[in-house]
Amino acid sequence: MKAIAKLNIARDIFEQNLSNEIKTISINVDDKQLHIIFHDGIHLYIVYNDYEEYSYSIIFSKLELDRCRFDNYDDRWNVSSRPHHFHPRKTKEAIESPMKGSPKQDIKNLIELLKKGKLKDIPT
C-alpha cells in the first residue's frame, strides 16, 4: 500500500475517533506526513514512505526530548520487536513497540494510548 493511502486511512480513523479533541489535521503530500494538532497543544506527526517505514511522533512541548516516537527507520535497537521500536518521553533510548506500520491496527492502538494518557508518562 502506498504512503498516501496509509495517511488517508490514518486521518480517517483519527477523525472518526477523536474529532472533538482535534484542532487541525492536514496531510503534506510532498513529505508524506499527517500533522494533527490537538486542542491541548500536543502535535502528532505520522509519516509513511513507500518502503514500509513509518514514524508516529508525539510532541508535547518545545523542550528537549519532550516527545515520544514509534518507528522502524533504523535497526540498531536491541529490542524483541526489532526493527519496530518506541522512544519513550524524555529519553534517547528505545524499548519494545506494539506498532508494526499498519495504519488500520496501529492508529487504533495509538488512539487508545493517547486517550489513556499512557504516552505522557515519563520513565523513571
Per DSSP, helices labelled H in 1-124 are: 3-18, 103-116
Q: Would you state the pLDDT for residue 124?
A: 58
Cell triple for 90: 524524555
Domain assignments of the chain as residue spans, ordered by start = 3-120
Q: Would you state the pLDDT for residue 34?
A: 98
Measured CA distances, 75 to 12, 106, 111 (Å): 30, 19, 25
pLDDT (tens place) for every residue of the chain, 124 residues total: 899 999 999 999 999 999 999 999 999 999 999 999 999 999 999 999 999 999 999 999 999 999 999 999 988 898 999 999 999 999 989 999 999 999 999 999 999 999 998 888 776 5
- Residue found by looking up cell 527507520 in the block: 73
Identity of the residue numbered 51: Y
Q: Would you state the pLDDT for residue 73?
A: 92
Residues facing residue 48 across a β-bridge = 54
Entry pTM: 0.94
Q: Would you state the pLDDT for residue 45?
A: 98
